[in-house]
A and B are shown apart, each in its own frame.
Chain A
């Protein structure tokens, strides 16, 4: 399925999860019927080179959507495509085009050094040994990973592992970058440096499409061309940050999000206080 205009396209996507069973019932888990809706009839597209943020409360479906796009989850119904490839029918082609950051500080071999981990994953993504070596050096300088490269990952801090994970997602120069809370464990300086890299280098070149989930509204305002607001698995708004604010008559994106999600909060009182 070739959809050249869109880097990511999602059509009527639904995802239901089965209830989680414990004890002896866990043996029945694989056969449990799916009943809990995580995504409901979600449709939108992301253009080549565009940056779209997924915004929503915990459990809104942001990570579920990113996992479906990264081929780690199968949708219950509907279609999702990355770089024109269906995430179910052409999963291998999808993986060829994407870089994925899962947002946790797991996902590395603790007994291997940062460099050994990056080289392993880079080479599995078809980088030659020489290119992998060069890129590792490049990202080490960019993300200040030098100290971490030759230490076992189990001895590194959460923030450093997070930076390693971001480097891994970018190492093979993917066309589509899926980032789940990319700056969650980063300190203020590392987070700013990373956002600056995304904004001024990666997105400016226009060759990489970014879809990211974040709870940081300043990050979203800085990076996102458009914001997809999810609420209880449904897409309730999709527009630029400024349009969202205008349409909801809000002064800030936070206020716009609260209004869209139907939460009540007295922003005027807060404003008056400040």
Chain B
């Protein structure tokens, strides 16, 4: 059985579970409309020619902040997907049964994250669609191939952090406090609601150590500045470097945590 079939099986499992709740997706779509409207009116309130000048792309503060807000969702999803899935498997008792199947650890981890990533992508698309339909978000200037490339490499980079968080959960049985620190720091220094350039120098250094900064810069350039993939090679390469370091090290950490819990007999403990 190929890796891809196993990924599909996990995706289908999560889709069926989500469907069984019959959760009102309509409500989420409406919530996205309210969120988009809020950013629009905040932008109208604060927007000025000086502010527009300090932003790297056209589209004004509304487009800038909306991208910052929705794209941070990817980081949240990546940090949440692995440990939430692990927690659910542990609590339902399915973790042990998954681990005695012939599924590899990478397939199990990647498969568990696929559905949350797909839902996050859908949610982000809804936000952007509302923005374009009602509030003049300039979607026409987007280069979709570049957007796709940035999303993929960003998810790879963020996933390393998510798997580290899951390793922590496996070992210590509770949520990872470092996860909230990463999200908090990313909100402040990642360039979500304001350009990193206005931060003091020492905070800018912190920003450059965080993959979200490069992901947001590249995403804004692709969505608002019509940047092509070849224009974004530098941030894409940096994000790939983050992924190249974080993914193998997080997989090793997860495997070590799994080995430790198998040794202490605490695999299924809550």
In the complex, the answer to whether A95 meets B92 with C-beta atoms within 8 Å is no
Q: How far is the CB of B112 from chain A (nearest CB, A)?
A: 12
CB within 8 A of B96: which of A38, A102, A168?
A: A102
Query: Which positions 6-63 of chain A face chain B at CB distance < 8 Å?
Result: 17-18, 26-27, 29-30, 32, 34, 38
User: Does A121 contact B101, Cβ atoms closer than 8 Å?
Assistant: yes
> In whole angstroms, how far apart are the Cα atoms of A27 and B174 in the complex?
9
**Among listed A67-75, A133-141, A222-230, A260-268, interface-contacting one:** A67-75
Within 8 A of B (CB), among A66-118: 67, 70-74, 76, 92, 95-96, 98, 100, 102, 104, 106-112, 116
List 30 contacting pairs A-B, 8 Å CB cutoff, sorted by A: A17-B265, A26-B172, A29-B173, A30-B171, A30-B261, A34-B263, A34-B264, A38-B265, A71-B99, A71-B262, A72-B262, A73-B262, A73-B263, A95-B100, A95-B102, A98-B100, A102-B93, A102-B96, A104-B93, A106-B92, A107-B92, A111-B17, A111-B20, A112-B20, A120-B9, A120-B12, A123-B5, A124-B6, A126-B1, A126-B102
List 6 extra interface pairs beyond A92-B104, A120-B9, A168-B97, CB under 8 A.
Answer: A17-B264, A74-B262, A76-B263, A102-B93, A111-B21, A123-B9
- CA distance in complex: A32, B265 (Å): 12
Say if the beta carbon of B16 comes within 8 Å of chain A. Answer: yes
Instruction: Report if A252 contacts B (CB, 8 A).
Output: no
- Residue B266 is within 8 A (CB to CB) of chain A in the complex: yes
Q: Are B97 and A152 in contact (CB under 8 A)?
A: no
Complex CA–CA separation, A124 to B100 (angstroms): 10
Determine which residue in A100, A110, A111 has the highest number of CB atoms from chain B within 10 A of its CB, and name it: A111
Chain A positions within 8 Å of B94 at CB level:
106-109
Output the least CB separation between B231 and chain A (Å): 42
Q: Which residue of A lies closest to B97 (CB)?
A: A107
Of chain B, the residue at the smallest CB distance from A122 is B101
Q: Are A92 and B102 in contact (CB under 8 A)?
A: yes
Name which residue of chain A comes closest to B91, CB basis: A106
Among residues of A, the one whose C-beta sits closest to the C-beta of B12 is A120
Q: Is A250 an interface residue (CB 8 A)?
A: no
- A residues in contact with B171, CB < 8 Å: 30
Per-residue A-contact encoding for B214-248, CB less than 8 Å = 1, 0 else: 00000000000000000000000000000000000
Contacts of A100 in B (CB 8 A): 97, 100
Count of chain B residues with Cβ under 8 Å from any Cβ of A?
Answer: 35
In the bound complex, what is the Cα–Cα distance between A169 and B265 (angstroms)?
22
Cβ contact within 8 Å between A109 and B17: yes
Count the A residues whose beta carbon is within 8 Å of the partner chain — how many? 40
> Across the interface, which residues of A come within 8 angstroms of B172, CB to CB?
26-27, 29-30
Residue ID in chain B nearest A15 by CB atoms = B265
In the assembled complex, the Cα of A27 lies from the Cα of B9 at a distance in Å of 34
Contact with A along B171-192 (1 / 0, CB 8 A): 1110000000000000000000
Is B103 interfacial (CB-CB < 8 Å)?
yes
Nearest 8 pairs between A and B by C-beta? A106-B93, A124-B101, A111-B20, A107-B93, A107-B97, A74-B263, A74-B262, A111-B17
> Are A112 and B16 closer than 8 Å at their CB atoms?
yes
Is A232 in the interface zone, CB < 8 Å from B? no
